[in-house]
Copies of this chain bind each other. A is one copy, B any other.
């Protein structure tokens, strides 16, 4: 479970990962938690936000540079998770790499 990520002086980068799951867990939840923990120790990691309901899951991770995103994509344990994602966990997903140009935080 995640809360709001911090906002930063822009620009920084966001990876929007939107997914539709297959049925059953197949070790998904444990791996998802592990990946968040592992990502948080990567160079350039700024934060992560995640929400899932019955229809769709959205995980947004935030990074200092595009090179940091490339390095995280190439991480060996993450590569294993990416492969299992395609084979077991996701029926469809979209991945979007974005440059955050403006951000705004509201707190009551």
A30 within 8 A of B: no
Residue interface bits A40-76, CB-to-B below 8 A is 1, else 0: 0000000001111111111010000000000000000
Asked if A107 contacts B92 (CB within 8 A), the reply is yes
Number of copies: 2
Asked if B92 contacts A7 (CB within 8 A), the reply is no
Asked if B51 contacts A4 (CB within 8 A), the reply is no
Residues of B within 8 A of A56 (CB): 1-4, 49-51
A103-B97, A104-B95 given; A55·B60 CB < 8 A: no
CB within 8 A of A108: which of B14, B51, B90?
B90
Q: List the 7 closest pairs (A to B, CB-CB), nearest first.
A: A98-B98, A51-B51, A97-B102, A58-B58, A96-B103, A51-B58, A95-B104
